[in-house]
Structure 1
Amino acid sequence: MHAPPAVAKPSEHAHKHAHKHSVDSCSTLLGSLTLDNRYRKLHRRRALPMDGEPGVMGVSILKPLVGTPMDPNLMTNLETFFTLNYPKFELLFCIQEEGDPSIMIVQQLMKKHPHVDASYFIGGVEVGVNPKINNMQPGYLAAKHELVLVSDSGLLMKEDTLTDMVAHMTPDVGIVHQMPFTCDRKGWPAILEKVYFGTSHARMYLFLGLLDAFGLRVNCCTGMSCLMRKKVLDEDGGISAFGVYLAEDYFFAKYIQGRGWGIRISSQPACQNAGTTRVKGFLSRLTRWCKLRIAMVPHTLFLEPLSECMVLGLIASWAGAVLLRADYLTFFLFHTLTWSLADWIMLNIVQNGPPPFSKFEFVISWLFREISAIFIFVHAVWNPVISWRHKSFKLRWGGIAEPVNTKVAVM
């Protein structure tokens, strides 16, 4: 919440009225700019704007796989890509090591769906420090279609999701990505993930998407599910040119945007469906992403804390106490309550219905996420070394990564 403007010693009644008016105005502005955009943006079914299959753009789907430890939902997730309702696509599974248990799953699915154009590659090609780029390089070199979809192994795909993404790939667009969300799963770690991706992360993602719709060039792309024009990437040497970065998704979008192409968010969120979720692993992901943001966009070091409910509430409450002589604790509690209610509404919109847990579970998870955000940020600033896929990296300003010998845990 933002602090209300200063006034010249208003009366007690004016203080209360100004306090309430400030909160109401801020809530109304939030609703008009973001909630309405979410209603119009998400869960819309879009058909391809082409007549007949011959005009449909082909898609090469890159699936980087690291099957150790094995995800119990891997077969279920991968099979949803074999059953996509799209006329022209190929599946390129990129498996890092010989003997990886995911090889057997891929072979079983290829045998079960022989009509699907699918192949797999074992062993990557080292083109940089990014393990994911190295893993996908053989599949990218074999890709034969004009569009490339980088899709993480933990995603579950709806039959029409690829159709929706390609429908957003209009002639002036070079990259279409999905907003990360989660499938319905049991357990508190799964609830915590759904609350985060359906509130804090969705708020940032959709707001930046709204700015992009207004013609402002912003970059909020994530590589979890990212559809790109291959010819544009090939002009810079393909995905190998981005192997020096850990956040290859951000630099994919930055490069494509710099070439004059637009970026769009798909109507359907990316459904993460990992079979095992842990609070520690979730916090490690958030810490790693925070470190990457600070290295890539240094001004987030100052701006990101101000986007968090608790930090902004403390500042706004201090301003309210000084400028309006409002009670500090009352102002802070009202701010937190209003923010949490707005996030509950947002979560219902992203979920496209009520979430599969109680309001009490939401409150507990929401409070944990909002409070832990402060400690995650401090830890990311204090320890910039990133551990990812059993390797450690140090980031230079600008996002270029360098491997380090000493392994340092993220959390």
Structure 2
Amino acid sequence: MREIPALETMEEGASLGENGAGELHLELWYLLTSAAALLLVCFYAVYMSVHLLALSYAWRWLHSKTAELTQQKLTGVEFAPGVSIIKPIIGCDPHLKTNLESFFQLKYPKYEILMCVAEMGEVPSLQVVHDLLSQYPHVPVRILQGEASIGVNPKINNMIAAYRAAQYNLIWISDISILTTPHTLSELVSHISPNHIALVHQLPFTTGVKSFADCLDKVYFGTQHSRVYLVANVLGQNCANGMSWLLKRSCLEEVGGLAAFSEYLAEDFFIGKALWSGGWRFVLSTLPAFQNPSHRSLTSYQSRIIRWGRLRATMMPWPGLVEPFTECFGLGLLGALCLHRLLHIHPLLFLLVHTSVWFTFDLVLLKLIENGPLPQLWQVGVAWCLRELWTFPLFMGGVWSREILWKGGRFRLKFGGKAVKLD
């Protein structure tokens, strides 16, 4: 019988040990990657359910009959609460008269309009206001010209005098580009009477489509933006946008008043945060806020998305890191890789199904918010594809710098949300 040398036996044992250790490492790697893939698939499933939550809320709440009922209840009623409407006006958009006139045509028994014209002198916007005063002499209007210098926020500098001079406790702050409907104010007021409600806000949306840039804006505000906005509202998160909101001045004064937020550019976020922390709650109006500028362009869209991205990156840096993976293609790629790892589903097949389902959900949500005919399907499809493909480059533009241009000024953002004016 042949004897095996001791050295040879030891080498074979070592080789077997190395193979065993290698197999153990592979098994451990397989388990870890499978567990990670499973967690990411759960994240995928949770975020896809956000679509369903937004759709159900939009279908149940937006454009309900509340506006008609409140109009019947409030019109001509002696005790309807008075409302001070603040319109900050910077520049003179060709649609300025149309947008402002819609506020002169409100079907509400007691309100005043405070026109905050930023520029001094006989500027074109002032002439527009005077023309409307001649046309609607029965509407109480006050004109306040010039800007204060209480902080870096140009919007607050523009309207702080009107805020202090407002006759009523209920204040409706509405941007220059907003086109309203006759019953909107009645609808807003109908939600704010409970003591714990400090603010009623509107879902930002857009008016009709005359150009591709109009369609892109409508697709953005009617899909990605509204989906997050609606779900945040359902989950009780601070999401109130300051384009158009009705608030109680008494509540705002308890958290420092309007001037206290002039050091922030995203004053609406921090006003909402302070009010929410103070124990008050918000209500989303059933009627969207319709932005109606005279001109939109791909450049203006790009500038706004990058500006908002930089604001979010400084206000909420950690949640901002996952933004690309809450978009169609980012989340789809994540889901495709993970399901291929777990179930060997072909990634391209999964991406095709995922994108089709996502687009369908977005199309239905857009229809619910529009509450009327949409642009042609091919226009919506092209705008939707461009928005989704543009998401990551715009995200990178948002995190690349902390400088923004807004309302004619250049600012540098600090982490935490405060800003410094650079010129």
> In the alignment, does 2:104 pair up with 1:82?
yes
> In the alignment, does 2:389 pair up with 1:371?
yes
Deviations 1:330-360 (A, max 9, x none): 11121111101110111111111331x2111
Equivalent position of 1:105 in the other structure: 128
Distance 1:28 1:246, change over 3 A: closer
Deviations 1:128-178 (A, max 9, x none): 000000000111111010111110011111000011111111312101110
Following TM superposition, by how much is the alpha carbon of 1:100 offset from its aligned partner in structure 2, in angstroms? Answer: 2.3
Find 1:126's aligned residue among 149, 156, 175.
Answer: 149
Distance 1:26 1:141, change over 3 A: closer
Aligned mates of 1:30, 1:235 — CA distance in 2 = 34
Deviations 1:306-330 (A, max 9, x none): 2111111111111111111111111
Equivalent position of 2:199 in the other structure: 175
Equivalent position of 1:231 in the other structure: 250
> In the alignment, does 2:311 pair up with 1:292?
yes
Query: Aligned to 1:184, what secondary structure does the other structure show?
Result: coil
**Quick one: which amino acid aligns to residue 165 of structure 1?**
L
Following TM superposition, by how much is the alpha carbon of 1:85 offset from its aligned partner in structure 2, in angstroms? Answer: 0.6
Equivalent position of 1:390 in the other structure: 408
The 5-angstrom pairing of residues 174-253 of structure 1 reads 174-212=198-236, 218-253=237-272
Aligned mates of 1:28, 1:294 — CA distance in 2 = 24
Aligned mates of 1:36, 1:311 — CA distance in 2 = 24
Find 1:321's aligned residue among 335, 340, 344.
Answer: 340
Deviations 1:46-71 (A, max 9, x none): 2446796233221111101012xx31
**Worse overlay, 391-400 or 241-250:** 391-400
> In the alignment, does 2:369 pair up with 1:350?
yes
Equivalent position of 2:186 in the other structure: 163
Aligned mates of 1:296, 1:310 — CA distance in 2 = 25
Distance 1:238 1:342, change over 3 A: same
Equivalent position of 1:260 in the other structure: 279
Deviations 1:25-59 (A, max 9, x none): 87994564221211111012324467962332211
Query: Aligned to 1:340, what secondary structure does the other structure show?
Result: helix
Find 1:62's aligned residue among 78, 86, 109.
Answer: 86
Equivalent position of 1:11 in the other structure: none
Aligned mates of 2:393, 2:47 — CA distance in 1 = 27
Aligned mates of 2:403, 2:47 — CA distance in 1 = 38
Find 1:276's aligned residue among 284, 295, 308.
Answer: 295
- Count of matched residue pairs: 382
Q: Which runs of 5+ in 2 are unaligned?
A: 1-29, 32-40
Contact 1:394 / 1:402 at 8 angstroms: preserved in 2?
yes
Equivalent position of 1:92 in the other structure: 114
**Quick one: which amino acid aligns to residue 270 of structure 2?**
F
**Quick one: which amino acid aligns to residue 86 of structure 1?**
Y
Distance 1:308 1:31, change over 3 A: closer
Aligned mates of 1:72, 1:163 — CA distance in 2 = 28
TM-score (norm 1): 0.88
**Quick one: which amino acid aligns to residue 61 of structure 2?**
K
Identity in percent: 38
Higher relative helix content: 2
Query: Aligned to 1:54, what secondary structure does the other structure show?
Result: coil
Find 1:359's aligned residue among 339, 357, 377.
Answer: 377
Contact 1:66 / 1:100 at 8 angstroms: preserved in 2?
no
Aligned mates of 2:153, 2:46 — CA distance in 1 = 42
Query: Aligned to 1:55, what secondary structure does the other structure show?
Result: coil
**Quick one: which amino acid aligns to residue 398 of structure 2?**
A
Query: Aligned to 1:221, what secondary structure does the other structure show?
Result: coil
Equivalent position of 1:309 in the other structure: 328
Distance 1:237 1:211, change over 3 A: closer
Contact 2:327 / 2:388 at 8 angstroms: preserved in 1?
yes
**Quick one: which amino acid aligns to residue 109 of structure 1?**
L
Aligned mates of 1:365, 1:340 — CA distance in 2 = 11
Aligned mates of 1:305, 1:391 — CA distance in 2 = 29
Contact 2:51 / 2:227 at 8 angstroms: preserved in 1?
no
TM-score (norm 2): 0.85
**Quick one: which amino acid aligns to residue 189 of structure 1?**
A
Find 2:61's aligned residue among 24, 30, 41.
Answer: 41
Distance 1:52 1:103, change over 3 A: closer
**Worse overlay, 104-113 or 28-37:** 28-37
